[in-house]
Each structure stands twice: as structure tokens, then as C-alpha cells.
Amino acid sequence: MIFYFTGTGNSLYAAQYLSRELDEPLVSIAAELNSGKPLTYNLSPDEIVGFVYPIYAWQPPYMVLDFIKAMKINNYDENYIFSVANCGDNEGYTTRILKRRLRGKGLKLNSGFSLVMPNNYMISGYNLDPKAEVEKKLVAAESRLAEISMALKSKRDDHFDTISGSQPFKKSYIINFFFKKYAMDTKKFHANDNCTACGLCAEICNTENIAVDGKPQWGNNCVQCFACINRCPEEAIQYGKQTQSKGRYINPNCEFPI
């Protein structure tokens, strides 16, 4: 069973790749949280459990951590558990944070991996990767996923192949604190005259935070996945003035449910 969280498809692509290699079903973390049903999962004796997700300001998205806190795993008998954190360059202490959250549920994270993927964040001084860099990262990611799948098939224990980068504590705790406090405001989201009110943004919003009435309107519950901005077919959705002259990114190799 592979739990995944995705905004623009990087983590979905990785999860789909590993699902095929490991013959494990995919489960959307956002869909499960939004369903309102009990988050209870029954494991078979040899079932592998995975968590595949992006990093946001050098931590797992809060929905991933909330999901782990709320979920209940039945029949856990030292089943093999892994995580794959996709990042633009490095992950800070992301895997360490996830490992601690799982430990709090009585679950052991056996292995963890960083997966470098194209960047999809375009505010606060950041921008999308140039086209050549996107192509380079996508090619490297496929090779990296082949390596990861081999390690998972052999169930390597206490195996953590992650890219912490420089000053990981500062990134994952200090910068992330200010990110959560100041950078998750939804007031700057808006749609320009290109908007056709197709409703895709509302359908794909991980937090069910968007309602379309003529044009989309944003509530206060945002994880900053930027799916609405990057997947809008008309490039109509903007974040203040910061995204008006910037491109958009969708992973070209994944298969979106919507």
C-alpha cells in the first residue's frame, strides 16, 4: 500500500512507478482525509507500506503529518515501511520528521529516500526550473526510481539515502516555522479574465478550499501545493503579481485521476 500526496504530479509519478514495481495499490492521502471516513487500513503479512510526498519548506506537507497522526494500521507485524520525499534540491530533515511521526504511531520507518524533481514553487523569490533543467531532472528521476525500487524489493533495513543539504535544522524548523506562519495566506490567489469557470481548480484542490461561482474563490485552508496555479488549463490563476510572468509546471509522466 503506497500513500501519496501530490500537487503537480511529481509525487504521483513516483508513486505510480513504485506501485507498478512493487505491485502495491495507491492511496491518495488528500482523498482519504477529505472523505471523512475512518482512516483504518488492514495489512497483509508481507505488505509493503510507502509514503510518497513532496517537501514544503523542508518538511512534509502538514496534510501528510496529519494523516499519519489520524490513521490506524491493523495487523502491523514489522511490515516494511519506506518513504520517498521529492525535492527541488534537498530535503533538510524531512525524512527524520516523518520517521518520528511514524514512531509515535508504533511504526518503524525502515528506509527513506530523497528524489530530486523539477521545482513547482514560484513565489517568495523562487521560480520554476528552466526547461533544460526540467528535462535533466526528469531523466535522472527515472534512474533514481529504478535504484529506489531495487532497494525496496530487497527490503533494505535502516537504509536512509537522503539529501539533507546545508543547515538542515534551520531549514526544517526555523524557515518552516515562518513559512507556516506567513506564507500560507490565500488572500493573494485570484483568477484573471482568462478564467472559463471550468471548475478544475476546485476538483483538484487538496484541501477542498476552492469554490467556483463565476470565478474561483479561495477559503483559508491552503497547503501551498500550487496545483490550482500550475494545472489551470488557461493559466488564469495567479498569486498576487508574483506569478503573472512565470510559466507553469505539470509532471508530464504521471497519470492524474482528474
Per-residue model confidence (pLDDT) at position 182 = 84
Q: All 3 cell numbers of residue 218? A: 479561495
**CA distance linking residue 87 with residue 81, whole number of Å:** 20
Which cell numbers in the block locate residue 252?
508530464
Sign of the CA dihedral with 237 first, then 130, 58, and 254 last:
positive
Q: Residue ranges of the chain with pLDDT lower than 70?
A: none
Given phi > 0 = left and psi -120 to 50 = alpha, else beta, which region is 203?
alpha
For residues 8 and 225, is the Cβ–Cβ distance under 8 A? yes
Q: What is the pLDDT of residue 258?
A: 72
Distances in Å between the alpha carbon of 238 and those of 8, 123, 125, 227?
A: 15, 10, 15, 12
Taking only the tens place, the pLDDT of each residue in 207-233 is 999 999 989 999 999 999 999 999 999
Nearest C-alpha neighbor of 63 from the set 220, 162, 206: 206
Count, residues in the chain: 258
Q: What pTM does this model have?
A: 0.95
- Over the stretch 54-74, which tens digit does the pLDDT of each residue have? 999 999 999 999 999 999 999
Rounded CA separation 200/1 (Å): 28
Is domain 2-179 in CATH 3.90.1300.10, yes or no? no
The DSSP output letter for 173 is: I
Alpha-carbon gap, residue 240 to 252, rounded angstroms: 27
H or E element in which residue 29 lies: helix 29-35
Domain boundaries, the chain: 2-179, 189-239
What topology is assigned to 189-239 in CATH?
A: Alpha-Beta Plaits (3.30.70)
